[in-house]
Amino acid sequence: MLQAVQKFYAKSESVRAYTMLSPALILIILLMLIPMILMLSFSFFTQISFVEIDYTFTIQRYIDFFQKNLLVTLLIKSVKISFLVTLVTLLTAYPVCYYIAFYVKKNKMLWLVMLTLPFWTSYLLRVFSWKIILGTKGVINSSLITAGLLSEPLTFLMYSETAVIITLTHAYAAFALLPLYVSLEKIDFSLIEAGRDLGLSRLEVFWKITFPLSMPGVIGAILIIFIPTVGDYVTPALLGGTDGRMLSNMIQAYFGKINNIPLGAASATIMLFTVAVVTMVVSYTTKKLTQRIS
């Protein structure tokens, strides 16, 4: 019997691989897949009272979602803010990665560790530190008033979309820096030299060689920033005020204070659906783009 089992094992790499993967896969199934399916099914139920839920199937919660202007507005705003954050993060991080990949000669790893180090400190605290900077009595306002440049604090800094975008750009910097750096670092420098040798200007070399070759990093960065920022809760809660509030804050409210779990579940499902659509669109267009380039 034991020998039969041994034989079975020895014969198949797949069996060995899946044995080793099974704890991770079970974890995903039990703690992600099944809970998400359950959440999806809750979005088809109705909350009757504070504790009671009617388990008959209805798509009313999705209708509710789209009938509530607030929720649709928040969804659109979440996507818009995430889009802006992704764009700003990419644009600001790209030159830094470019510099480290092509100009830094010694201790590249040290530069990279230094770049990603702030990312590992508490997310909550990083967001909080922006509150210190942008607050009504915060660093910027108090400095400007002390210097005599202002008499009244700038109120638009705090509790606004701008505050949320700045903070998220800071918070998700590492997610852009790492994939961008990796893809730039992989580029064979002789390709760039060849481009120069064939008479292209620096700018042309960048647009025709470097940038297309760094596309995998750009795509990676887009997805890895866009997805979590759509669902971000802490930043809008601390810095957004009413102006900067995002869909997550409402989801939290449905699961918390308001206690409408089905509507919360429907909102979460719609958020997930939005993320999936964006992921597919980004992957598809970039695939088309890279095909055209090559």
Partner 1 sequence: MEQKNNTLLFYTLLYFVFLYLPVLFLPLFSFNDSNFMSFPLSGFTTEHYEEMWKSTNLHKALWASVKVGVVASVVSTTIALFAAKAFARYKFRGENISYGAIMMPFLIPEIILAVSILVIWLSLGFKLGLVPVTLGHILFCTPFAMLILIARIEGFDFSLEEASRDLGENAWGTFYRVSLPLYLPGIIASLLLSFIISFDEFILAFFLTGSDATLPMYMWGQMRFIQKLPHVLALGAVIIVFTTLIVLLAFWLRNLGQGKDKADFGIKIHE
Partner 2 sequence: MNNSFIQINQISKHFGNVKAVDNVSFEIQEGEFFSLLGPSGCGKTTLLRLLAGFEYPTSGNLLLDGSDITALPPDKRPTNMVFQNYAIFPHINVEKNIQFGLRKLGLTNEEIRERVNDVLSLVKLEGYEERFSSQLSGGQRQRVALARALVRQPKVLLLDEPLGALDKKLRDEMQLELRTLQKNIGITFVFVTHDQQEAISMSDRVAVMSEGKIQQLSTPNELYKNPHNIFVSDFIGETNFLKAETKSKDGEHINVSIEKLGEFKIKNSLNISENSSDVICSIRPETMMIDKEKSDWDICLEGKIKQTSYLGEITKFYIETKEIEKIITVSSQYFDNQSFKNNDCFISINLDDISLLNKK
Applying CB under 8 A, among 63, 114, 194, 280 the residue interacting with partner 1 is 114
Site size for partner 2, by CB under 8 A?
5
In the complex with partner 2, the residue whose CB is nearer, 11 or 288, is 11
**Per-residue tokens: 90:** 């990419």
Interface segment toward partner 1; rule CB under 8 A; list 58-66, 67-75, 129-137, 157-165: 129-137
Q: Least distance to partner 2 from the beta carbon of 18, Å?
A: 17
| Beta-bridge partners for 54 | 46
Interface of this chain with partner 1, residues 251 to 280, rule: CB under 8 A = 251-252, 255, 261, 264-265, 268, 271-272, 275, 279
Q: Which of 76, 118, 191, 285 binds partner 1 (CB under 8 A)?
A: 118
Contacts to partner 2 from residues 10-49, by CB under 8 A: 10-11
142 binds partner 1 (CB under 8 A): yes
**Interacting positions 186-225 with partner 1 (CB under 8 A):** 189, 223-224
Which DSSP state fits 142?
A: H
Alpha-carbon gap, residue 255 to 200, rounded angstroms:
58
* 7 binds partner 2, rule: CB under 8 A: yes
Q: CB of residue 113 vs partner 1: minimum separation in angstroms?
A: 5
CB of 67 to partner 1, least distance (A): 22
Which of partner 2, partner 1, none has residue 7 at its interface (CB below 5 to 8 Å by kind)?
A: partner 2
**Cα 14 to the center of its chain, rounded Å:** 33
Which stretches of the chain are DSSP H helices?
2-11, 13-28, 34-42, 60-67, 69-102, 108-120, 123-134, 139-146, 161-171, 173-186, 189-197, 202-205, 211-213, 215-230, 234-235, 247-255, 261-293
What's the length of the chain? 294
Decide if residue 288 touches partner 2 (CB under 8 A): no
Determine the angle formed by the axes of helices 261-293 and 60-67, rounding to 10 degrees: 70
Shortest distance, position 239 Cβ to partner 1, whole Å: 12
Helix axes 69-102, 173-186, angle to 10 degrees: 40
Nearer to partner 2, 10 or 258 (CB): 10
Q: By C-beta, is 17 or 191 nearer to partner 1? A: 17
Q: Residue 10 touches which of partner 2, partner 1, none (CB < 5 to 8 A by kind)?
A: partner 2
Residue from 1, 56, 69, 105 touching partner 1 (CB under 8 A): that is 105
Please state, as a whole number, how many other Cβ atoms lie within 10 Å of the Cβ of residue 37: 10
State the alpha helices, DSSP H only, in 104-171: 108-120, 123-134, 139-146, 161-171
- The conformation of residue 206, written as its DSSP 8-state character, comes to I
Cβ(58)–Cβ(46) under 8 Å?
A: yes
Nearer to partner 2, 10 or 276 (CB): 10
CA atoms within 13 A on the CB side of 137: 0
* Closest distance of CB 13 from partner 2, Å: 9
Q: How far is the CB of 108 from partner 2 (least distance, A)?
A: 23
Note the residues at the interface with partner 2 (CB under 8 A). 3, 6-7, 10-11
